Amino acid sequence: RKEVEQDPGPFNVPEGATVAFNCTYSNSASQSFFWYRQDCRKEPKLLMSVYSSGNEDGRFTAQLNRASQYISLLIRDSKLSDSATYLCVVKRDTGRRALTFGSGTRLQVQP
């Protein structure tokens, strides 16, 4: 089983729609959580960190549920420019401390 699991999608949504992605992680030692965005044939870039209390950045909201070991990302009022792959990322605070990436969820926003 992979340490970080995501639904690969693709999620095809119309402009203006609200879309949510979930991600589950298996290692309870994971302490830091992030969402990265990767455009086609580009490098991953940090979208937002995920805090225990949940956090919002404009149209994007991230939530963390430690008890169930899942993270979510909600995108409101989708734009064409939101089309990308969204990578769920976790980091442990013990042992291997490098970021572990999920395989990503692909979003395609259609006009």
Partner 1 sequence: DARVTQTPRHKVTEMGQEVTMRCQPILGHNTVFWYRQTMMQGLELLAYFRNRAPLDDSGMPKDRFSAEMPDATLATLKIQPSEPRDSAVYFCASGLQEQSPLHFGNGTRLTVT
Minimal distance in Å, beta carbon 90 to partner 1?
A: 12
Residue 37 in contact with partner 1, rule: CB under 8 A: no
- How many Å apart are CA 101 and CA 76, to the nearest integer? 24
Among 100, 106, 107, 109, binds partner 1 (CB under 8 A): 100
Residue 99 in contact with partner 1, rule: CB under 8 A: yes
Which stretch in 21-29, 42-50, 54-62, 65-73 sits in contact with partner 1 by CB under 8 A? 42-50
Residue 29 in contact with partner 1, rule: CB under 8 A: no
Minimal distance in Å, beta carbon 18 to partner 1?
A: 26
- Quote the Cα angle for 8-10-11, to 5°: 115
Buried b (16+ CB within 10 A) or exposed e, 23-44: bbbebeebeebbbbbbeeeeeb
- How many Å apart are CA 105 and CA 3, to the nearest integer? 15
Residue 104 in contact with partner 1, rule: CB under 8 A: yes
Binding stretches for partner 1 (CB under 8 A)? 32, 34, 42-46, 49, 87, 91, 96-104
